[in-house]
Amino acid sequence: MTTASIPCALTVSDWRVAPFRVGGETVFAIGDVHGCADQLSALLEKISSLTQNSATTRLIFLGDLICRGSSSLDALAMWAARSLEAAFHKVHRLSGNHEQLLMLSIGGGEVAETAQSKWMSIDGDTFVSELRRSTARADAPLTRSLVFDAAGDVVMERLENLEKYVRLGNVIFVHGGIDPTLDAATSLALPWNVFGGNHWAWIQEPFLAWRGGFGGLMVVHGHTPPAKHCMMSGYPDPHVLQHDRLSLDGGSALTGIVTAAQIEDGRYRLLTSRPAVR
């Protein structure tokens, strides 16, 4: 289903010095989208214009493409597009907690019912409603078939092959964060079918309030919108690298802002996409 597009304003910050080491690559990481497809489209267009050498440029989606916003299916179509693999050296599609619960809900495993109940309590119903509208099946249950029929085979394939995290040099890219009570490898190895608590796709305050570092690793993440992040972390601006953390959740469906970063050895800058002021 294609919805009417809205014009977006795109801003790029000045470069900021930071101890990132990514092996000479350029990495574009995109935070939570939550159905804000127009903002995502503007970001991808800008990223394309900034890409000078596709052989050394990597694109990472930090998860939570779906729910809450009005155009999750359009966002997924852009996220899944095969053309991205031709434009970048490597494309990583990480699982957010919303993709995790979607796939657990339709997976038929022992946690499917619990996962679906949890997902419906955090706005999963907004995506299910979009699936039903797209397929004209108003009363359809949430099944793999419903997702496939609405989103198509390429999106389905991508959803079935989501990554937990990416490590590049001294940087970890992950949706939620790292449990500071565990070493990074143990925290990131938590099973896919576990949700909530301090899981890598879910953790918030224990990670955001931590001041002790992560064993020399920098963590680039999404998951927690700015107002909530500030309350938990005490940071006036979560989009600044502080205590080895950089948040790229701009609030998306809450604020209309989708945030990304361009990360290179020793520096980063922010890309921000929002509805244009008329």
Instruction: Evaluate if residue 166 carries a pLDDT over 90.
Output: yes
**pLDDT at residue 2, rounded to an integer:** 47
Edge-to-edge strands of the sheet including 165-168? 165-168, 171-174, 218-221, 245-247
Decide if 55 is inside a domain: yes
pLDDT, tens only, 29-81: 999 999 999 999 999 999 999 998 889 999 999 999 999 999 999 999 999 99
Residue range of the domain that includes 256: 8-275
The 3-state DSSP class for residue 29 equals strand
**pLDDT at residue 3, rounded to an integer:** 54
Alpha-carbon dihedral angle through residues 100, 127, 253, 198, given to the nearest 10 degrees: -20
Closest C-alpha to 43, from 1, 89, 8, 91? 8
Decide if 112 is inside a domain: yes
* Distance linking the first and last C-alpha atoms of the chain: 26
pLDDT, averaged across the chain: 96
Q: What is the CA radius of gyration of the chain?
A: 18
Decide if 38 is inside a domain: yes
Decide if 205 is inside a domain: yes
Decide if 2 is inside a domain: no
Decide if 264 is inside a domain: yes
Count of domains in the chain? 1
CATH code where residue 68 lies:
3.60.21.10
* Range list of H helices, 60-169: 72-80, 83-87, 97-105, 112-120, 124-135, 144-151, 153-159
Asked if residue 96 lies in contact with residue 117, where contact means CB atoms within 8 angstroms, the answer is no
Decide if 132 is inside a domain: yes
The average pLDDT across 5-20 equals 94
**pLDDT at residue 4, rounded to an integer:** 58
pLDDT above 70 as % of the chain: 98
Instruction: Evaluate if residue 1 carries a pLDDT over 80.
Output: no
Decide if 52 is inside a domain: yes
Confidence of residue 234 (pLDDT cuts 50, 70, 90): very high
Confidence of residue 5 (pLDDT cuts 50, 70, 90): confident
Cα torsion angle, 153, 156, 160, 164, sign:
positive
**pLDDT at residue 192, rounded to an integer:** 93
Confidence of residue 6 (pLDDT cuts 50, 70, 90): confident
Least confident interval from 1-10, 179-188, 236-245: 1-10
Please state the φ and ψ torsions of residue 120, each to the nearest 5 degrees: -65, -25
- Quote the tokens at residue 118: 């949890």
- Quote the tokens at residue 189: 């190895």
pLDDT, tens only, 170-203: 999 999 999 999 999 999 999 999 999 999 999 9
Q: Is 256 left (phi over 0), alpha (psi -120 to 50) or beta?
A: left
* pTM score, whole prediction: 0.96
Instruction: Evaluate if residue 142 carries a pLDDT over 90.
Output: yes
Nearest-10 crossing angle of helices 124-135, 144-151: 60
